Amino acid sequence: SLQKRKYDDAILFLKNLLKNNLKNSGIPKGLEKDFITGVKIISANKVSNKSIKEAVANIAVTDETIFH
């Protein structure tokens, strides 16, 4: 059955996760401060650099990951 979700927008979900639920996100405790101060969520359709758009597209449609 279909379930009603609190978020249907990935950007809103990630912003809420990083702002309000970072401790429950799976991010290691030692990196939490770095995520709070250094991570910015940017929609791919707002990126104007072609190589960045291609990298984001590759991550979105393959098994590649951002964090190695």
Q: What is the pLDDT of residues 28-64, one digit of tens each?
A: 889 888 888 888 887 777 777 888 878 877 776 656 5
Report pLDDT for 63.
Answer: 61
Query: Domain locations in the chain?
Result: 10-61
Place of tokens 């758009």: 53
pTM of the model: 0.54
pLDDT digits 0-9 by tens, 3-30: 788 888 888 888 888 888 888 888 888 9
Identify the CA nearest to 19 among candidates 45, 4, 46, 40: 40
- Residue 34 sits at the vertex; the CA angle it makes with 31 and 40, to the nearest 5 degrees, is 125
